[in-house]
């Protein structure tokens, strides 16, 4: 019974240490070429190997190294997919989104542009309790973001596929719920999983439903966003600014107009990053849960896609 991890050396070293200490009964491997494929019950990787469906006949759990799992289009029969749920990645995403919301709240894109042109000009003021922040996706990450934004006094709402209830957050779900939330959202945050239903959800129709001059913090997946629609909405003033951490494709091609859009703060998919120490502990806990017949935390429901 072996856990095989395919990752970079520093991460492998941390996992090796934690597994040797806390889960010595499970074998540990990091070399796909050297391991006996039939022994591999648990695999952790970010990029799926090409022959994933057939390579590990006894695979039980496939762990994504990150919070996202949309890269695993096909799964070996009998194996379950687990996304990374650990406090390291959650706290980084939370910090990024708080930065984006505060940046848009305080008109940072406009002031950065003024700075480039040496313009000293004071714009309008708004207070946090006058800003309505709408969060798309109320899972692990959306909840952490809501909890972090609450003390600032923003008016919070959120939207998820299934009904949720979160203190201090007006929770919406379903298509009608989405329209209702958008009409009341000054700063929209995207933390959705990428599924067939959410691909290109951030499109011209959605932007048109927001109040004029709204902002966007996009820390989901590049596939959520119609980038041309974003550029058009920024050009027309329908949107006033955006923090964009994920694009399609990645990296964004050098000649893409998003690089030059002054109202966009663009970052290279850094909103979240798995922290090896906490991820190793979470993975050990998940294997223990699995061995005792419990579902691992972050188990992906096949029909749902997250």
Residue numbers at the binding site for ligand GLV (CB under 6 A): 66-68, 89, 272, 274
Residue facing ligand GLV at closest CB distance? 66
- Min dist CB 38 to ligand GLV, Å, is 29
Catalytic residue among 41, 172, 221, 263: 221
Distance, in Å, from the CA atom of 99 to the CA atom of 93, rounded to the nearest integer, reads 10
Of 212 and 273, nearer to ligand GLV (C-beta) is 273
Of 185 and 274, nearer to ligand GLV (C-beta) is 274
In the sheet where 40-45 sits, what is the strand order?
Answer: 27-29, 2-5, 40-45, 61-64, 80-82
- Min dist CB 262 to ligand GLV, Å, is 26
- Min dist CB 218 to ligand GLV, Å, is 12
For residue 269, indicate whether it is catalytic.
Answer: yes
For residue 173, indicate whether it is catalytic.
Answer: no
Of 97 and 210, nearer to ligand GLV (C-beta) is 97
Q: In sequence order, what DSSP letters do the residues of 74-118 get, joined into one string? A: S--TT-EEE----HHHHHHHHHHHHHHHHHHHTTHHHHHHHHHTT
- Min dist CB 280 to ligand GLV, Å, is 15
Q: Are 286 and 63 in contact (CB under 8 A)?
A: yes
Q: Is 286 exposed, middle or buried (0-12, 13-18, 19+ CB in 10 A)?
A: buried
Instruction: Tell me if the bond preceding 28 is cis, omega within 30° of 0.
Output: no
- Token output for 117: 């042109």
Of 8 and 127, nearer to ligand GLV (C-beta) is 8
- Min dist CB 272 to ligand GLV, Å, is 4
Of 138 and 239, nearer to ligand GLV (C-beta) is 138
Q: Are 11 and 44 in contact (CB under 8 A)?
A: no
Say how far residue 29 (Cα) sits from the centre of its chain. 28
Residue 25 has a CB neighbour count (10 Å cut-off) of 8
Of 139 and 272, nearer to ligand GLV (C-beta) is 272
Catalytic residue among 16, 269, 288, 289: 269
Rounded to 5 degrees, φ, ψ at 158 are -150, 160
- Min dist CB 109 to ligand GLV, Å, is 23
Query: Which residue has 């240490």 as its token pair?
Result: 17
Active site residues: 221, 269
């Amino acid at each position: 019974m072996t856990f095989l991890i395919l990752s970079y050396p520093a991460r492998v070293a941390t996992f090796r240490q934690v597994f040797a200490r806390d889960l010595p009964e499970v074998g540990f491997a990091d070399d796909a070429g050297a391991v006996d494929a039939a022994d591999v019950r648990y695999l952790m990787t970010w990029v799926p190997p090409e022959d994933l469906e057939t390579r590990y006949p006894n695979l039980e759990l496939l762990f994504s190294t990150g919070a996202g799992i949309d890269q695993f289009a096909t799964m070996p029969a009998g194996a379950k997919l687990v996304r990374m749920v650990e406090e390291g990645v959650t706290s980084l995403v939370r910090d990024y989104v708080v930065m984006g919301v505060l940046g848009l709240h305080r008109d940072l894109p406009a002031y950065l542009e003024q700075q480039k042109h040496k313009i000293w000009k004071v714009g309008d003021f708004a207070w946090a309790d006058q800003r309505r922040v709408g969060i798309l996706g109320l899972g692990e990450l959306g909840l952490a973001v809501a909890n972090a934004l609450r003390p600032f006094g923003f008016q919070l709402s959120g939207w998820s596929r299934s009904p949720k209830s979160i203190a201090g957050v007006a929770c919406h779900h379903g298509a009608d719920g989405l329209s209702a939330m958008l009409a009341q959202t000054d700063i929209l945050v995207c933390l959705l999983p990428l599924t067939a239903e959410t691909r290109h959800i951030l499109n011209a129709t959605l932007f048109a439903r927001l109040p004029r001059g709204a902002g966007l913090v996009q820390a989901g997946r590049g596939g959520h966003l119609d980038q041309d629609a974003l550029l058009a909405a920024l050009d027309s003033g329908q949107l006033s600014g955006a923090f964009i951490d994920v694009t399609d494709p990645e990296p964004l091609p050098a000649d893409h107009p998003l690089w030059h859009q002054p109202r966009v703060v663009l970052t290279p998919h850094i909103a979240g990053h798995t922290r090896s120490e906490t991820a190793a502990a979470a993975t050990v806990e998940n294997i223990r849960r699995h061995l005792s017949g419990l579902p691992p935390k972050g188990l992906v429901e096949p029909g749902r896609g997250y």
